[in-house]
Structure 1
């Protein structure tokens, strides 16, 4: 004889089977209704375990989910037939999730139901099957990824980096945040072609290996031209002129930069910061300025991994609180734990952003005068420290 708890465990195991979960949720095959055998009491049970049989029957009388099918059973030891539970029928997915008696499964079913209502049916199978792709993302973020995957066409990037595909209503980090999800969705739509070619090649986007950075002089005459395009791989092997280097996450901030003697800025690095481990940067004053969100702080941590002396600019609690009216929601955080190489104030800021309903302040929305003053103050301090170090060794 199987108790309700015994069969709930079996239903939970079935839920965790990707094939069963997908076919039952999508109504494919003949998977519904689910019929689970309860098992009938034997004559021996009735003689030697009568109280247990009574408890068993009472437990099944209390079940209100699905349909408990009863049967009348005759036993020699009983003067009349006894009504006992024979099987448990689950008729629809909502009953299945409820019958599992598991909060996580109930929440997952509600989430999947919401996704099925908002996402194109072509993606329902992969959403049901590949739960790890969506379980840690907000429903709206997954729905947005489905809309992008449904509307984007091969070659749409036309040579641009993925972060600049704003025509799909996404922010600059959307493709970086959802790369694996988008690849899977595009594979579903284009029969695996996106993974075969790679996302950048499929969309004709600039690849990570060919990431061209914008180098901008902050003192006239430091570069052959006021602005140059340089690959990250070239920055690793060849040094830039000047005494100070400013690294900026987003390229469209160049109009905010002041003139700074002996300084050069590298803009548009995004996650492409591997070049910061270049030997020529070890002794050079370096500052990093990025978005105030968990992703921007993660990039800062990556830079500091290579350059422990890097100083962050305008990535502090005061700047965030002063500009809170310009902040927006961050759909998916980089991680629920702060990155390893943040200092204490940056770590506290990271935790503050995780708690905030508007945990993202894009750097281009900070007032130009504030930006310019912060850069000038950093350059002055760096020059003073550099001068003091040289006097010490004279």
Structure 2
């Protein structure tokens, strides 16, 4: 007679976690219904002779299951033990749905399931097909922070076939969605859009009709035909800092953008050249052709963005900042963590710029940065059009209408 009887709660939970949670395919299949409920787990209670032969083990088996928190999931059966008569013993654990399973598996899984179920309900409210898609993509969906998930819910109803009109993905006209979001979360966006619309084997960018992100070092974009002709009629070209310094471009306005990707949000502006993705590579600003232009600088709202602005002003003191003001900061709440601060201000910031920097530095570290990519395309274009139309006051470095 075997003594392999009497599974205890910790053993059952350990086996279930390994089979149903650690195995992601199995967990996903439980959510989609491919692995059906109820899930019935035998606890292997002892027979009468087995219990009589090892009373301490028998007592521990019964005691631990009586302490089990989810008593409603247990089924009990009667076993007669010589000298003790009929005894009620736990025989099976029965789980009727994914919520029951999650609770059994532990607090971490229960929290995962509760949040996932809430997200699945939000997606189903957008389109019923998204409920099943939420199950198939549960881990990718849960990898999003809650603010990013909320942004996803804002994005999905706005996407339509062909809306990009062969422009860059960063230039999509989206309300309440940062220009970086589609690119950063392309995989999950494509999976969910594919559940609603027939992509017919096309990827998300093809369906939207947007141009893929180009690669290079420092990007130059002409924002009107006259400037584009000087760049060989190419939409974007890439150069290094030395090459940029040796160029001569005839334009009235120059917009410097700290990071490359926000440059693809920018639409046409008369007589304007964009130089993007140069970061701290700013020595080209000493070139003679640069000084003839009205220059705007758009950087991240963080200590590094303001540090680069000050460095740029060492070469061109009259540079105007664009979207680095209190209005931009207060209108957009998607602040993020700044890993490390830059050097203290060097005395080349305006009073308003210094005030914004001090406001950021007074915040908790996880909210000290507002990335350029978090700003909606419509806001960016409106502010750039305002900058382009302003008369520049060189005494304050502030543009006036």
Normalized against structure 2, the TM-score is what? 0.63
Shift of 1:134: 2.4
| Whole-angstrom CA distance in 2 between matches of 1:358 and 1:327 | 14
| Whole-angstrom CA distance in 2 between matches of 1:227 and 1:156 | 27
| Whole-angstrom CA distance in 1 between matches of 2:183 and 2:209 | 16
Structure 2, unmatched stretches of 5+, are 1-5, 346-356
SS at match of 1:208: coil
Structure 2 counterpart of 1:163, from 154, 161, 170:
170
Contact 1:254 1:267 in 2 (8 A): no
- Whether 1:8 aligns to 2:13 is yes
Contact 1:213 1:266 in 2 (8 A): yes
Q: Deviations over 1:126-185 (max 9, x none)?
A: 433334422232345335435644553332211222222224542322323322221222
Structure 1 counterpart of 2:222, from 214, 231, 245:
214
Structure 1, unmatched stretches of 5+, are 217-221, 258-263, 378-394
Cross-structure match for 1:31: 36
SS at match of 1:81: strand
- Whether 1:290 aligns to 2:299 is yes
SS at match of 2:214: helix
SS at match of 2:237: helix
Shift of 1:109: 0.9
Evaluate the alpha carbon distance shift between residue 357 and residue 241 of structure 1 in structure 2; reply closer, same or farther with a 3 A threshold. closer
| Whole-angstrom CA distance in 2 between matches of 1:202 and 1:126 | 19
Shift of 1:110: 1.4
Q: Deviations over 1:253-279 (max 9, x none)?
A: 89999xxxxxx975384xxx3x88999
Q: Give the alignment of 1:232-251 within 5 angstroms.
A: 232-235=236-239, 239-241=246-248, 247-248=256-257, 250=262
Shift of 1:72: 0.7
Which stretch of the first structure deviates more once superposed, 6-15 or 278-287?
A: 278-287
Contact 2:47 2:79 in 1 (8 A): no
| Whole-angstrom CA distance in 2 between matches of 1:81 and 1:371 | 94
Shift of 1:350: 8.7
Contact 2:80 2:87 in 1 (8 A): yes
Contact 1:115 1:143 in 2 (8 A): no
| Whole-angstrom CA distance in 2 between matches of 1:83 and 1:165 | 66
| Whole-angstrom CA distance in 1 between matches of 2:320 and 2:28 | 47
Evaluate the alpha carbon distance shift between residue 139 and residue 224 of structure 1 in structure 2; reply closer, same or farther with a 3 A threshold. closer
SS at match of 2:339: coil
Structure 2 counterpart of 1:73, from 39, 54, 79:
79
Shift of 1:53: 2.0
Q: CA RMSD in A?
A: 5.2
Which stretch of the first structure deviates more once superposed, 225-234 or 137-146?
A: 225-234
Structure 2 counterpart of 1:267, from 274, 286, 306:
274
| Whole-angstrom CA distance in 2 between matches of 1:3 and 1:69 | 14
Contact 1:214 1:228 in 2 (8 A): no
- Whether 1:355 aligns to 2:355 is no
Cross-structure match for 1:97: 102
Evaluate the alpha carbon distance shift between residue 183 and residue 169 of structure 1 in structure 2; reply closer, same or farther with a 3 A threshold. same
Normalized against structure 1, the TM-score is what? 0.64
| Whole-angstrom CA distance in 2 between matches of 1:114 and 1:268 | 43
- Whether 1:112 aligns to 2:112 is no
Which stretch of the first structure deviates more once superposed, 39-48 or 86-95?
A: 39-48
| Whole-angstrom CA distance in 1 between matches of 2:235 and 2:122 | 40
SS at match of 2:142: coil
Cross-structure match for 1:175: 182
Shift of 1:327: 3.8
| Whole-angstrom CA distance in 2 between matches of 1:111 and 1:293 | 32
